[in-house]
Amino acid sequence: MPSNKSVSDATITQFINCRILKDSRLQREDLWVREGKILDPEKLFFDEEGFTDIHVDCEGSIVAPGFIDVQINGGFGIDFSQATDDVNGGVTLVAKKILEHGVTSFCPTLVTSPPHIYHKVLPEIKVHDGGVEGAGVLGVHLEGPFISREKKGAHPERYLRGFETGGVGDLLETYGRLDNVSIVTLAPELPNSLAVVRELAERGVTVSLGHSVASLSQAEEAVKQGATFITHLFNAMLPFHHRDPGIVGLLTSDQVPANLTVFYGMIADGIHTNPAALRIAHRAHPAGLVLVTDAITAMGLPPGRHTLGQQVIEIEGLHAYVAGTKILSGSIATLDMCIRHFKQASAHCLLSGCSIEAALEAASLHPAQLLGLSHLKGSLDYGTDADFVLLDDELNVRATYIAGQQVWKK
């Protein structure tokens, strides 16, 4: 007997008994997937006269787009800023482990390092889609060395540098090729930085402002040249001041072009940012919030000493310090922990839109929009990649799917 599937013979899976995050609200709908993409059921039934091959009962779970971590330095004993003999193997290990935390795509992040580290490590990190072997790599995030000495944080001062040539030459000399680079964090107050911001933006690289003592006007100029992100808001920048709010002022600046969203990363681990500061930022500019882990080697490991690039890091409880100091150096939080913490921190402000939906979109839709990938990732719209996560009401991860295939289950 001939099949009705006139357009494609590929298997169609229908996920039933779920609440889907769509159009910024949880909706009781089914989810259809075919060939790794979210399918429009109306076209399936009426245009193709097709039918479902497989039913998956989600048992009342929340179904949200897969999480995207745009700032993660490593984890589970792996430090992305180390020039090991098997860089790709380290990235693959982290990619596999973060599936259980709902992360389906990420940007391996390299902190300030000497040029030979970048020249060895960068060519070995491949941009690729995710699957059973792990989360997809969207490109590398280079945090430093073009940052402020005053706000270097855990970045080693001896490797910091400025833009001496006035162009992109300094970047190429330091990093090598930029083919697989998706984000560069720099300080916009450095001499000649604006030309570099413009050049990077023209190359399709997301420019982030961070580790900086920039004034608001300096930050605004960088945005006008193409910067669209702020690296871990409030951390490693001038504190908010009413006469010059610095980079933080971008959240409500009237100098940001009307058609542009400035996004800002926040480490919602309960340590880097007070819950009140989280709420202030979100209320001021909810559409820009991007939850990041800034996770280091020690994520997933017991307390002790570990590395972050060229520094030794000591873990005390949930704090990660440069050894022998009280300088915070990344986090040991996972992205699902950050989402739960943000939801908890914002539980008192439901009227201003701090909700489960807002928490989930800050780790999926917003990072996808930041990277210009929202036509593929970060939502459950028809035609997008079927990367999604099943969660319980407390936002604990039950299962992770990439391209419609289950890649992790609790």
pLDDT in tens, 131-145: 999 999 999 999 999
Give the pLDDT confidence score for residue 47 in this predicted structure.
73
Q: Is 101 annotated as a binding residue?
A: no
Q: How far apart are CA 31 and CA 250, in angstroms?
A: 38
Q: Is 143 annotated as a binding residue?
A: yes
Helices 335-345 and 275-284 pack at an angle, to 10 degrees, of: 80
Q: Mean per-residue pLDDT for 96-117?
A: 98
- Give the rounded percent of residues in the chain with a pLDDT score beyond 90: 80
What is this structure's pTM?
0.95
- Token digits of residue 315: 């873990």
Q: Which residues pair with 306 in a beta bridge?
A: 313
Alpha helices in 285-354 (DSSP H): 335-345
Classify 199 as helix, strand or coil. Answer: helix
Nearest 10 degrees: Cα torsion 77, 96, 360, 182: 80
Q: Which of 66, 64, 60 is nearest to 18 (CA)?
A: 60
Q: How far apart are CA 11 and CA 4, in angstroms?
A: 13
Give the pLDDT confidence score for residue 211 in this predicted structure.
98
Q: Does the pLDDT at position 10 exceed 50?
A: yes
- Token digits of residue 228: 């669209």
Of how many residues is the chain composed?
410
Give the pLDDT confidence score for residue 124 in this predicted structure.
97
Give the pLDDT confidence score for residue 162 in this predicted structure.
95
Centre a 10 Å sphere on the Cβ of residue 169 and count the other Cβ atoms it contains: 13
Give the pLDDT confidence score for residue 354 in this predicted structure.
58
Q: Which of 345, 225, 336, 328 is nearest to 283 (CA)?
A: 345
Q: Does the pLDDT at position 351 exceed 50?
A: no
Q: Does the pLDDT at position 114 exceed 80?
A: yes
Alpha helices in 163-304 (DSSP H): 169-175, 193-202, 216-225, 275-284
Q: Which of 69, 170, 269, 294 is catalytic?
A: 294
Q: Is 236 annotated as a binding residue?
A: yes
The distance from CA 107 to its chain's CA centroid, rounded to whole angstroms, is: 7
Q: Mean per-residue pLDDT for 366-382?
A: 98
Q: Is 305 annotated as a binding residue?
A: no
- Token digits of residue 346: 């914002």
Q: How far apart are CA 132 and CA 123, in angstroms?
A: 23
Q: Does the pLDDT at position 349 exceed 70?
A: no
The predicted-structure confidence for 70-102, as pLDDT tens digits, reads as follows: 999 999 999 999 999 999 999 999 999 999 999
Q: Does the pLDDT at position 167 exceed 90?
A: no
Q: Does the pLDDT at position 350 exceed 80?
A: no
Give the pLDDT confidence score for residue 5 in this predicted structure.
43
Give the pLDDT confidence score for residue 43 in this predicted structure.
82
Q: Mean per-residue pLDDT for 213-220?
A: 98
Q: Is 393 a catalytic residue?
A: no
User: Which residue segments constitute the domains of the chain, with CATH numbers given?
Assistant: 12-64+383-409 (2.30.40.10), 67-370 (3.20.20.140)
Q: Mean per-residue pLDDT for 23-33?
A: 95
Q: Is 10 annotated as a binding residue?
A: no
Q: Is 328 annotated as a binding residue?
A: yes
Q: How far apart are CA 288 and CA 230, in angstroms?
A: 10
- The answer to whether residues 32 and 52 touch, using CB atoms and an 8 Å cutoff, is yes
Confidence grade of residue 8 (pLDDT, cut at 50, 70, 90): low
Confidence grade of residue 270 (pLDDT, cut at 50, 70, 90): confident
